[in-house]
Amino acid sequence: MAAMRFQSTRDAAITAGFGEALARGLAPDGGLYVPQRWPEVAPADLDAAADLPALAARLIGPFAEGDALAASMAPICAEAFSFPAPVADLEPGRLAVLELFHGPTAAFKDFGARFLAACLARLREPRSRTLTILVATSGDTGGAVAAAFHGRPGIEVVVLFPKGRVSPTQQQQLTCWGGNVRAFAVRGTFDDCQRLAKQAFLDEPLRRSRELSSANSINLGRLLPQAVYYAATARSLAGPGGEPVSFIIPSGNLGNAMACIWARRLGAADRGDRTRAQRQP
């Protein structure tokens, strides 16, 4: 099978391999990295997965084909998906809740943050310059990223959050780490934090002076792992006749909804899946 490549949403001529796309976060032109082609994942392969980490390795593995990370996909997924994503029935056969709060920071973003951290840690070479993970957050993302990357050699995390606009619990999660994690309160909104981060990624003199990457959902390594729990849920809830499973997804910037669409694109949640995103008030 040919090595997978990922192209910028702004210029298809700008491409990268799996590990490079994760390490860069954004393409050089400011676009997002997306697959040049969608791999085919056989339903039987997914059905044969014994647990969530095994399902994740089978689903994400084809995207790393031909990359240095390919051989490590099973241990990476075992590290990232070390907690469950159970489904609680509210009305059996009709309505259920996918519980995504069993990770270390009680946020669904723990899945993607831990996967990305496990990948980037394996890409670091001895004596290579420090990788700076720059993340803008309105609360949950920063805490998940800080927890996932804390104590990782050769990696530092810089978290930007809007001053006075996160809960006390979230602020504690953002600022309690020390070590290789630093958090800065920005006078402004989340959009201001995000704008500062994007400006940094497009600042070529800055990028030449230090290695930068993103851990927001603009990073492929954050989005792909979130497709896994939709695939697992669709497969566990679909009845003998393959009845459709619909997902109702409260969303802010629609990253979590996009992960569901990607799962459907792979055929992993294609048992009649219909995704509905609802803007949070």
CATH code of the domain containing 155: 3.40.50.1100
pLDDT band at 274 (very low <50, low <70, confident <90, very high): very low
Q: Give the residue-averaged pLDDT of 265-273.
A: 68
pLDDT band at 244 (very low <50, low <70, confident <90, very high): confident
pLDDT band at 115 (very low <50, low <70, confident <90, very high): very high
What is the per-residue pLDDT for 240? 58
Single pTM value for the model: 0.92
In the listed set 162, 196, 214, which residue is the last one of a domain according to the structure? 214
Share of the chain above pLDDT 70, in %: 94
21 lies in the same domain as 95: yes
What is the per-residue pLDDT for 239? 62
Q: Coil, strand or helix: which one is 75?
A: helix
The answer to whether residue 160 is domain-embedded is: yes
In the listed set 214, 234, 255, which residue is the last one of a domain according to the structure? 214
Instruction: Please name the amino acid found at residue 22.
Output: L
58 lies in the same domain as 17: yes
What is the per-residue pLDDT for 254? 87
Q: Give the residue-averaged pLDDT of 195-221.
A: 91
In the listed set 185, 214, 243, which residue is the last one of a domain according to the structure? 214
Burial of 29-63, coded b for 16+ CB within 10 Å and e otherwise, reads: eebbbbbeeeeebeeeebeebeebbbbbbbbbbbb
Contact (Cβ atoms closer than 8 angstroms) between residue 137 and residue 161: yes
What is the per-residue pLDDT for 275? 43
168 lies in the same domain as 87: no
Q: Give the residue-averaged pLDDT of 198-225.
A: 91
209 lies in the same domain as 226: no
Cα 120 to Cα 148: distance, rounded to the nearest angstrom: 11
Asked whether the predicted pLDDT for residue 273 surpasses 50, the reply is no
How many domains, in total, are found in the chain?
2
* Average pLDDT of every residue of the chain: 91
Least trusted range by pLDDT, from 30-39, 76-85, 202-211, 231-240: 231-240
What is the per-residue pLDDT for 276? 46
Q: Give the residue-averaged pLDDT of 200-217.
A: 90
More confident site: 169 or 272 = 169
75 lies in the same domain as 206: no
64 lies in the same domain as 186: no
175 lies in the same domain as 84: no
Q: Tell me the sheet residues that pair with 162.
A: 186
100 lies in the same domain as 225: yes
What is the per-residue pLDDT for 152? 96
Around 221, how many Cα atoms within 13 Å sit in the side-chain half-sphere?
A: 32
Range of the structural domain that residue 57 is part of = 6-108+221-279
Q: Give the residue-averaged pLDDT of 189-205.
A: 92
The answer to whether residue 120 is domain-embedded is: no
CA dihedral 255, 257, 263, 267 (to 10 degrees): -140
Asked whether the predicted pLDDT for residue 84 surpasses 50, the reply is yes
